[in-house]
Structure 1
Amino acid sequence: MDKYTDQLKAWGQKSLQPEIINKLNEWFAQGLKSWDISRDEPYFGFEIPNKPGKYFYVWLDAPIGYIASLKNLSKRKKINIDEYWNHDSKIKLYHFVGKDIINFHALFWPAILESANLRKPTAIFAHGYLTINGQKMSKSRGTFILARDYLKHLNPEYLRYYFAAKLGSGIDDIDLNFDDFVKRNNSDLIGKVVNIASRLSCFINKNFEGTLSSHLNAPELFTEGLKLSEKIGESYETRNFSHAVRLIMHLADLANQYIDEKKPWNISKQNPNDPAIQDICTMGLNIFRLLVIFLKPILPVLAANSEKFLQVEPLTWEDRKTQLLNHKINNFEPLMQRIDPKNIEQLLS
């Protein structure tokens, strides 16, 4: 390993998080030692050719599975694997790993790739541990949760959103607190985002044949959404997902504040066909559309359901620059259900 020290240091400075660099510097300070890549039987792994009773250490062959998996995909998708893994590849290649296995991925794995004349990852991002209600996962405490058990009781998009709302660019641990989980999802996704569509669509479909107006009556609100999109995009790029979520929810708050101030329900009592109602709803639904675009990397199913409701093609990041005007929407159907605390009780029982 010591012969790769300089390459590993140089690569790590541009490809690893600061906390990980600091940790690896402890290894470098001690001097890298030779790495034993074999294990004696009994051992579950690949036997070394011509070495009876000797097996490759799992952390030698496991990362090679990344290449093997792409090789398998390349056969089905007819892509050239060399474009991804050859030494001169220009494709961006990222690894996301737990912080407890960073030494295997940030020292041994790049050394293997260097020795094989293959490219190294563009960057490796380490995540912290997951705790449940402030405790380590434990079967005896009822906090050891399998993904398939979670899916029996809860929508996976709730978990995607909750993790995104707490995940930064560092290696801090994340706590899955189920009381907070219920409150945050119900408040943010249902109370703030979905509520915009459900509140406004009824006016448009009932009194305006489902058609939005020809202009935005508060263009400054849409402009504010575009300004926020730059910061949101930057937060996604830097993997500061929690900051992106905060910015998105700030825009949702602005949209709901606008609707509450305009009070289309009061106008409807006087004249349900007042064009001002159509204008208010058009403005609000355009901000809803922006929110869907911004949340789509986190909530793809909610985005797909919203696209169907809005009667639009799959939304892309570039679509944030356009407006939805003189456009017919579908009747509103629930895009996401509130979390029932009973489902949490059943999951943890």
Structure 2
Amino acid sequence: MSNYYTTPIYYVNGEAHIGHAYTTFITDMLARYSRLKGEETYFLTGTDEHGQKIEESALKAGKPTQQFADEISALFKNLWDEFEISYDQFIRTTDEAHKKGVQYAFKKMFDKGDIYKGEYEGNYCVSCETFFPESQLIDGEFCPDCGRTTTTVKEESYFFKLSAYEQKLLDFYEATPDFILPKSRRNEVINFVKGGLHDLSVTRTSFSWGVPMPKELNDDKHVMYVWLDALLNYVTALGYGQDEAKMHLWPAQMHVVGKDILRFHAIYWPAFLMSLDLPLPRHIAAHGWWTRDGEKMSKSKGNVVFPKEVSDAYGAENLRYFMMREVPFGQDGDFSQRAFIDRINSDLSNDLGNLLNRIIGMSGKYSDFLVDSVDVEKYHAAELEEMYEILDNVEKFLDEVQTHRFLEELWKVFTIGNRAIEAHAPWTKVKEGKTDEALATVALVANVLAKASVLLHPFMPKTTNTIADTLGFTIDTESYNSLLKEKKLLATFTIKPVGPLFPRVDEPLIPEAPKAMMEAEKPKESKKESKKAEAPKEEAAGLITFDEFFNTTLKVGTIVEAEEVPKSKKLLKLQVDLGEGELRQIVAGIKDYYSAEELLNTQVCVVANLKPAKLMGILSAGMLLAAKDDEGLCLVRPEKPRKAGASIG
């Protein structure tokens, strides 16, 4: 069986941010892991370059559209090359081969009767490149996904018969419960489909920057709509409709996407494939969004995290480890330099790097750097058994892309090594004349490092290659089978001294832009003015100033998802739309008073700048306003519906 992994193709209306890097790191890890096991592997990434938004962005930049697309696409490709992402192909939707494959697919669906010509009148969001029925709009005007104003569009269009695939999709979800990962996202897709699917507009006439129609249809005023064009990249990259030499790689093992485009990949894409009589991908894995220090990232706030800046400061592999370790896959994550530094100093420097340095030092003192595993089983059978118990079960977490659980379990192996050194104290054994026991402990730790490093390799390839070279072996399929599957120990080798792998970090290495900007924007006060502004010494207890009140950001939010928290009697997990595309996860202890179902699509008042906290291990980034008395609790709500994100105060 071949394993074909893909990232989404990234939209070229701006440079890569930390969310793009997260998707790419995960997909690169999966591809490297597949290759490590000796499986046929193909890894696709690339850029999405068509649509009205690109045309408008190029116009604003004063550049021809193709030149604009070329420049932004190159930024992505160059960054992935700098990060040594192991992709096999970088596709662009402006590639001629891709366009021909899309035209072939369009004609095939048209001939089948799944695409027909009609007229569309509806509300169109340029930012999301999506039409919405009036019933889904906020206040009859605003996009339900990003909160921006929609435009009423009436034009001739070709439609894909999405409605004809409603039951087929539901049957497929029922038959393949692990199609959508994490499985917690499965219900939102099923409920959307059960709500009724409308036929999908797949061409536009109001702009020209898109894939032209097939010549056989003789309809040049239309160009193909971005989602049909973009999703087909996964098969056009393999030569679909042309030279199909790589089509044996289909279906994809996994499409890794952000949760904001899950609907397109889990509903539209399978329907297109059914129409084309192609197999469906095995898994769609949707991850969450990233904030910075609890705040949504935006250019206006100056708090966007750019992966190259972080990599230059802290190292690319440290960034890879942090992002895949810090957050449960599927949940939103927060990028905090303090949390990042803690991971570097604790997990990487103390647990891993220091373990390697300790056995280098001891082997140099006790055996002239020679390490021999001959007595490991004799003196350390218990530690070996404990280690294999972990190693035999840890890989299952990668089947569901639970990278944080995988790394959490793998780190227990390094703990076994550190604990063995303290428990067996080789320095004491040498003094007692038990040198063979001391050297057996050193060899045990060398094997701990070797075996765990093989599995860590897809996450941190350069670091683990350095460790392997130090321990006298190479990380490849042969060592994967030998050290992990066959449970062999390292052959006798001479350890190579190496410097610290992870130097400690004491202070943040990247300026905290938002705070710096806020300080710069504060008006300078004279000493006289400052004195006047001081609060009276005998101020009434409990009173606050206007400034203190306005430090709290209160917003209207719309609850778009709600579910019970397993094993909790009081908690509900809510996804709250705060406008401008911001979806905030909030955990609220209101299950005694409200069910998840009755909260859906209702509005609430949210404290939006509360520091994120974890409740039962789930990140909560906000608080709902509520009133409570002897009769119970009720949520504070707007008297009339308001646009998501509207300020309160």
* Interval of TM-score (by shorter of Structure 1 and Structure 2): 0.7 to 0.9
CA contact (8 A) 1:204 1:211 kept: yes
Go from structure 1 to structure 2 and tell me whether the alpha carbon gap of 1:336 and 1:347 turns closer, same or farther (over 3 Å shift). Answer: farther
In the alignment, what sits opposite 1:343? 509
**Which of 249, 255, 261 is the equivalent residue of 2:423?**
261
Alpha-carbon distance in structure 2 between the residues aligned to 1:152 and 1:120: 40
1:198 maps to 2:363: no
Answer yes or no: is 1:57 the counterpart of 2:225: yes
Q: Which of 62, 65, 69 is residue 237 of structure 2 equivalent to? A: 69
Partner of residue 348, structure 2? 189
Equivalents in 2 of 1:206, 1:228: separation in Å? 31
The partner residue of 1:119 within 279, 284, 294 is 279
Q: TM-score, normalised by structure 1?
A: 0.87
1:88 corresponds in structure 2 to: none
Q: Which residue of the other structure, out of 410, 435, 452, is the alignment partner of 1:274?
A: 435
Aligned with 2:316 (options 156, 175, 181) = 156
1:211 aligns with 2:374: no
CA contact (8 A) 1:47 1:56 kept: yes
Instruction: Map Cα deviations across residues 130-185 of structure 1 (whole Å, 9 max, x no partner).
Output: 1111111122433212223223222111122112223435x211112221111012
Q: Which residue of 2 aligns with 1:283?
A: 444
Counterpart residue type for residue 494 of structure 2: K
Counterparts in 2 of 1:325 and 1:273: CA distance versus 1, 3 Å: farther
Aligned equivalents of 2:473 and 2:512: distance in 1? 38
Q: Determine if the alignment matches structure 1 residue 326 to structure 2 residue 479.
A: no
Gaps of 5+ in 2: 1-161, 517-649
Letter in 2 for 1:23: E
Q: Quote the residue 1:230 is aligned against.
A: 392
Please say if residues 215 and 279 of structure 1, whose CA atoms lie closer than 8 Å, have aligned partners that are also in contact. Answer: yes
Which residue of 1 is the match for residue 96 of structure 2?
none
8 A contact 2:302–2:513 mirrored in 1: no
> Percent of pairs identical after alignment?
23
- Assess if the C-alpha contact under 8 Å between 1:166 and 1:241 holds in 2: no
| Alpha-carbon shift at residue 327 of structure 1 (Å) | 2.6
Relative to its length, the structure with more helix (as a share) is 1
Distance 1:145 1:283, change over 3 A: same
Matches within 5 A, 1:5-44: 5-13=166-174, 14=176, 15-17=179-181, 18-42=183-207, 44=209
Aligned partner letter, 1:173: D
Give me the whole-angstrom Cα distance separating, in 2, the residues matched to 1:249 and 1:313. 21
User: Does the 8 Å CA contact 1:150/1:347 hold for their aligned counterparts?
Assistant: no
Q: Which whole-Å CA distance do the structure 2 matches of 1:296 and 1:100 have between them?
A: 30
Q: Distance in 1 between matches of 2:247 and 2:347?
A: 44
Q: Secondary structure at the match of 1:9?
A: helix
Contact 1:106 1:124 in 2 (8 A): yes
Deviation string 1:9-63 (CA, Å, 9 cap, x unpaired) is: 2323311243333112222222211100012333532233533442211111011
- Structure 1 unaligned segments of length 5 or more: list them: 86-90
Q: Which has the larger radius of gyration?
A: 2
Rate the CA distance shift 1:189–1:272 in 2: closer, same or farther, 3 A: farther
Shift of 1:330: 1.7
For residue 180 of structure 1, the aligned residue among 339, 346, 350 is 339
RCO comparison, higher one (Cα < 8 Å, 6+): 1
CA contact (8 A) 1:208 1:273 kept: no
SS of the equivalent of 2:414 reads: helix
Match of 2:411 in 1: 249
Answer yes or no: is the 8 Å Cα contact 2:454–2:475 preserved in 1.
Answer: no
Residues 196 and 256 of structure 1 are in contact (CA less than 8 Å); yes or no, is this contact kept in structure 2? yes
Aligned partners of 2:512, 2:327: CA distance in 1, in Å?
A: 26
Aligned-residue CA RMSD (Å): 2.6
Residue among 46, 71, 82 paired with 2:211: 46
Distance 1:198 1:111, change over 3 A: same
Name the structure where strand makes up a greater proportion of residues: 2
Could you say if the C-alpha distance between residues 271 and 345 of structure 1 is closer, same or farther in structure 2, counting changes exceeding 3 Å?
Answer: farther
What amino acid does structure 1 have at the position aligned with 2:449?
F
**Take 1:186 and 1:70, find their aligned partners in 2: how far apart are those partners?**
43
Q: 1:272–1:190: structure 2 CA closer, same or farther, 3 Å change rule?
A: farther
The 1:192–1:111 alpha-carbon spacing in structure 2 relative to 1, beyond 3 Å, is same
Say which SS state the counterpart of residue 96 (structure 1) adopts.
strand
With structure 2 as the length reference, what TM-score do the two structures score? 0.49
Residues 75-112 of structure 1: per-residue CA shift (max 9 Å, x gap): 9xxx9322123xxxxx6521111111111111111111
